[in-house]
Structure 1
């Protein structure tokens, strides 16, 4: 396996250099560590047939992938994220998964995400292209961002299997049966998801696929201040009532999702030192808010403090 570490990077440009290195080896993302001076991360890469294994460990940091990181021409990849150690929070496709050791989440490279890993966290990622995964999990988009707990169905068995297999790959394991082994592994992971969500209304293939379409439409138009449920329904050529039905299974209204996602993007820039020269109003209006008072009120409701105080605490 190939290994990379922040230890090999100059201290004064460590974060930006790591962003460039990680984006080249994996997906284009942006790391924002809780402490730039103490930022430490390690990435190891290996392969089993069509599956790329990636083991990442770091201290507390937020990993953000926005629409500006996603190229329309880029291949669509899916990643099974296994929380091997510590904890993390994935916000993706309208869901928030708070992961602890042994839990899984599925991530789609064609959709934005926010991934916050805590201190002493280690995550193992299994990445494969959409065509390969869909041979085993026909509608992966309906599972993206959902929390598959370690104590459900086959999840515990699969987490142990993936950890041990990753350890073998790190020691140089290869076999003429790599392709077959990889296919069986994807089949077992797919079965774990099917068992884990077999009684959940979100497993409806039609509604799950439609929900993913709605989320992608919202993410593509998040900066548009005119974005509304009516505009979304018109853009997707569905009725407003059907749009409400699609979102009903998430327990969150479409309008609430739009506000939450805008607030998440605003919060990400507010706590980013590179945006310290921009006013809070500039940031809010760039993400589709058209009222400073409305932005301040909703931000306070979401984060428990006004945006000005949030910036002060995050940048202090």
Structure 2
């Protein structure tokens, strides 16, 4: 779909919007979904000349929300397309009209109107749109989710209802953002956090009950404890292990399944909190040192080095950008 300066608009509140497009042919639609999301392969169920589709989107900070319409088709994220670009994002698809099937990690999720599915763009997946459809797709940075890799893998390609549980919170929130995206720019980081937190809750609640053994229960509780005490400079693996009445060695073993040490997880979450606060315009009056200290990183010089290693720029340059 051709892009022009008149398509995307920036509202006074700082939220970028794209008005709904007229329906276009298959080639333009395929190009549009690859440009808007991640590189994708797509093919129509019938002759390409019989296909029509459309795409419109808004962005709220690092969160992207797109409404995609079209006819019967197959969309695939292959190894080749992952190699072309892998930005590390998670998709949440909310079926508005029509039906679809999402396939990933050896599972298939069948979606009817009102159902959700989560899929990871860093892993191969397929999406079969079985009839004319309308789908709302949220694209969220993986690093914004408070879930482990195993939890995410367990939650992908599962049918999630929006009538009960965490899905009943997420569905209406996404619909509300689509319809009422005018808000204060000062609220943008809070909106991003709210969506990421609810998606994280959906991921955790979507895992099969038998997937959570006693060790996994301790791991989830330890992560929640860490999240609630990030501002405490004395927070350390020993303190977390002591609170849960387990040894540090056992706790390290639980965290190691996801490729992080306990200290590494604490550091990662503190840095992400600092990144969020630096992007928050309502906190522009606070110094970088104050922000890092509030999140438990009392050595400003050490924090600056860690931040640059993680995000590629210094905290000051990140805030200015």
Shorter-normalised TM range: 0.5 to 0.7
Show the counterpart of 1:130. Answer: 142
1: distance between equivalents of 2:40 and 2:93? 16
Distance 2:202 2:86 in 1: 28
Question: Residue 73 of structure 2 corresponds to which residue in structure 1?
Answer: 61
Question: 1:16 aligns to what?
Answer: 27
Does residue 200 of structure 2 align to residue 184 of structure 1?
Answer: no
Q: Name the SS for the 2:135 alignment partner.
A: strand
Is the CA contact (8 Å cut-off) linking 1:97 and 1:145 kept in structure 2? Answer: yes
Deviation of the 1:141 alpha carbon: 2.8
For residues 135-176 of structure 1, the C-alpha deviation after alignment (integer angstroms, 9 at most, x for no partner) is x2233233122222234413123212211221113xx55532
Q: Residue in 1 aligned with 2:209?
A: 200
Counterparts of 1:122 and 1:60, CA distance in 2 = 11
Match of 2:18?
2
What are the ranges of 5 or more consecutive residues in structure 2 without an aligned counterpart?
1-16, 217-321
In 2, Cα distance between equivalents of 1:117 and 1:51: 24
Structure of higher CA gyration radius: 2
State the TM-score, normalizing by the size of structure 2: 0.55
1:108 aligns with 2:120: yes
CA distance in 2 between partners of 1:97 and 1:203 (Å): 21
Contact 1:15 1:31 in 2 (8 A): no
Deviation at 1:6? 6.7
Are positions 1:29 and 2:40 aligned together?
yes
Deviation at 1:72, TM superposition (A): 6.7
For the structure 1 residues 99 and 138, does the alpha-carbon distance in structure 2 shift closer, same or farther, using more than 3 Å as the test?
same
Superposed displacement of residue 99, structure 1: 0.7
Which residue of 103, 111, 119 maps to 1:91?
Answer: 103
2:160 corresponds to: 148
TM-score, length basis structure 1? 0.56
- Within a 5 Å distance, the mapping from 1:1-316 to structure 2 comes to 1-3=17-19, 5=21, 7-8=23-24, 14-35=25-46, 36-71=48-83, 74-133=86-145, 136-139=146-149, 140-169=152-181, 172-197=182-207, 200-203=209-212
Matched residue pairs, number?
197
Distance 1:195 1:115, change over 3 A: same
Q: Tell me if the contact between 2:108 and 2:158 (Cα under 8 Å) persists in the aligned partners.
A: yes
Task: Please say if residues 38 and 86 of structure 2, whose CA atoms lie closer than 8 Å, have aligned partners that are also in contact.
Answer: no
Is the 8 Å Cα contact of residues 21 and 54 (structure 2) preserved in structure 1? Answer: yes
SS at the partner of 2:180?
helix
State the distance in 1 between where 2:119 and 2:104 align: 7
How far residue 56 of structure 1 moved from its aligned partner, in angstroms, is 0.7
Contact 2:66–2:138 (CA under 8 A) maintained in structure 1: yes
Q: Within 2, Cα distance between the matches of 1:129 and 1:196? A: 19
| Residue in 1 that maps onto 2:7 | none
SS in structure 2 of the partner of residue 176 of structure 1: helix
Aligned-partner Cα distance in 2 for 1:39–1:186: 34
Q: Give yes or no for contact 1:142–1:203 (8 Å, CA) kept in 2.
A: no
Q: Name the CA distance, whole Å, in 2 between partners of 1:45 and 1:68.
A: 26
User: How far off its partner does 1:3 sit?
Assistant: 4.7
